[in-house]
Structure 1
């Protein structure tokens, strides 16, 4: 395992959140879609189920996408700002099916703040372990989705939003066949 379970979970969820803006149509366009995403992520704490909450989470996607490709010093500055703005106070928590993990906001904090701080805490581990290269953008030419490479050999190149790997491999195969036929 590269990172603690809560770090891996937060990173994968962050990539999934960012990628809701990468599919067409946007898959985070309504409060109902946000509710479904929050349920899938298993996020706890208060919710307003409002358009304001939806817009705050949608806005967070841009910040998280920037963190995905930021150099270390920029990523550190972003993490520190998120944690400072939230007044984050990390605490070990055990709830639901999860063993001990870190929460750094109260359950009453706004949803976008809780998500941002969870991702920032995960990025703390990524930065400290010098593993920022595991946060990538899809290798497909026509895709800008993000991914987290948790493989042992650091070989994950394509996102999970569509068929990017298959599409790229088929195109390469056809190009080879075409070149061989010429």
Structure 2
């Protein structure tokens, strides 16, 4: 039996001697957990700020590339004779922003024409997308027309144009120019 007491005694002595170390390591683990918690809080705050900032950037990155001309419409026949191309008339356009974003989604779109009144109640607004760049030149011509607004962006002289937020024109449509409600 004495042989068994010595190993037990040795284990007991080890536990007693390790006890202050265990208390110290427990304290340092608690400190680390506290610091990690603080870092996590800062990261969460940073994520929220980035999401708020990012949401604005996503909306503006496309819209700021365009300038608006109210009461103007593209002269389709003349413009296409000079090299412009009709691209698309997207469905489900409920605001000028929808129309401009549809243009941003098309690689060669430089002009979005918005018919501001739906043809019938409940219909989408008319939106017509064009590539007005031919041989690095804007070939579209426009004429006055009530009920339409034309949104244009500048062509790039190397590729014909850039897409999305790569364009930086001298002024996008302002909030006052939003003639439709976004939720309609």
TM-score class, shorter-chain normalisation, is under 0.3
The TM-score with structure 1 as length reference comes to: 0.23
The TM-score with structure 2 as length reference comes to: 0.23
Q: Which structure: larger Rg?
A: 2
Q: Which has the higher helix share?
A: 1
Q: Which has the higher strand share?
A: 2
